[in-house]
Amino acid sequence: MRAGRLLLLSLALGLGASAPLAARKPPMRSFADPSSIFAVEIAFNRLAREKGQWTAFREMAADDAVMFVPQKILAKDWLKGRADPPAPVQWQAHKVYISCDRRTAAATGTWQGADGAQGYFTTIWRMDAKGRWKWVLDHGDRLDTPRAESEFLEGHVAECRKGGRGPEGRSEGPMPPQPVKDGKGGEAPPDDSLRWSYETGEGGSRELRVSLWTGNAYEVVIEDRVGAAP
- Measured CA to CA, the distance from residue 204 to residue 189 in angstroms comes to 28
Look at residues 166, 99, 165 and name the one whose alpha carbon lies nearest to residue 133.
99
What tens digit of pLDDT does each residue of 34-43 get?
Answer: 999 999 999 9
Q: Are 139 and 206 in contact (CB under 8 A)?
A: yes
pLDDT value at 12 more than 60: no
Asked, for residue 59, whether it belongs to a domain, the answer is yes
Contact 111/142 with Cβ under 8 angstroms? no
Answer whether residue 9 shows pLDDT above 70: no
Note whether 44 and 54 are within 8 A (CB): no
Q: Is residue 85 part of a domain?
A: yes
Task: Supply the pLDDT for residue 229.
Answer: 85
The strand pairing partners of 198, in sequence order, are 185, 208
Q: What is the rounded distance in angstroms from the CA atom of residue 124 to the CA atom of residue 187?
A: 10
The rounded percent of the chain whose pLDDT value lies above 70 is 74
Q: Are 187 and 133 in contact (CB under 8 A)?
A: no
Q: How confident is the model at residue 192 (pLDDT cuts 50, 70, 90)?
A: confident
- pLDDT exceeds 70 at position 97: yes
pLDDT in tens, 143-154: 999 888 778 899
The count of structural domains within the chain is 1
Residue 175 per-residue DSSP state:
P
Any domain includes 24: yes
d(CA 69, CA 83): 15
Q: First and final CA of the chain: distance in angstroms?
A: 43
At residue 218 the predicted structure's pLDDT band, cuts being 50, 70 and 90, is: very high
Q: Flag whether 202 is in a domain.
A: no
Residue 207 in domain: no
Backbone angles phi, psi at 188, to 5 degrees: -135, 125
Residue 173 located in a structural domain: no
- Whether residue 188 contacts residue 175, with contact meaning beta carbons closer than 8 Å, is answered with yes
Domain enclosing residue 126, as ranges: 7-163
